Homo-oligomer: A and B are copies of this chain.
Amino acid sequence: MAEKVNIHEALASVTEHWSQKIIGEANGQLIKVAKGVGETNWHKHDDQDELFILYKGHLTIQLRDRDVELYEGDLFVVPRGVEHCPRAENEAEFLIAGLNVTSNAAGGKPNA
């Protein structure tokens, strides 16, 4: 059985932007934490919904038809197949849940 994890401590240990760190698993889904500043590339996940919970800062989930503004404590689900582009003017810290790690080129991770 996995031990408990403190989400704030896990976030503090993240050193690279737009790179997800796995902190748990439940019912086949991964719970991950990440930090971001700037923006990813536009992308979508055809195989999974992507859940965001904001822990620190302000994250804009740009969709093609509107922006969703997330602040501390806000939860938002990007449905599978929907194009999105997260953007943060200053560093934002968040939790993500989904079927696998999506912080890769296909997942919109910007070039280093």
Contacts and interface: CB of A to CB of B under 8 A. Distances in A.
A68 interface: yes
A112 interface: no
Contact of A73 (B7, B25, B71, B79): B7
A71 B69 CA distance: 27
Contact of A68 (B4, B71, B76): B4
Contact of A6 (B73, B77, B79): B73
Interface stretch (A13-21, A35-43, A49-57, A103-111): A49-57
Interface in A1-33: 1-9, 23-27, 29, 31
Nearest to A70: B4
B48 A4 contact: no
Closest 6 pairs between A and B when the two form their complex, measured CB to CB: A26-B49, A4-B76, A26-B51, A8-B73, A7-B73, A26-B77
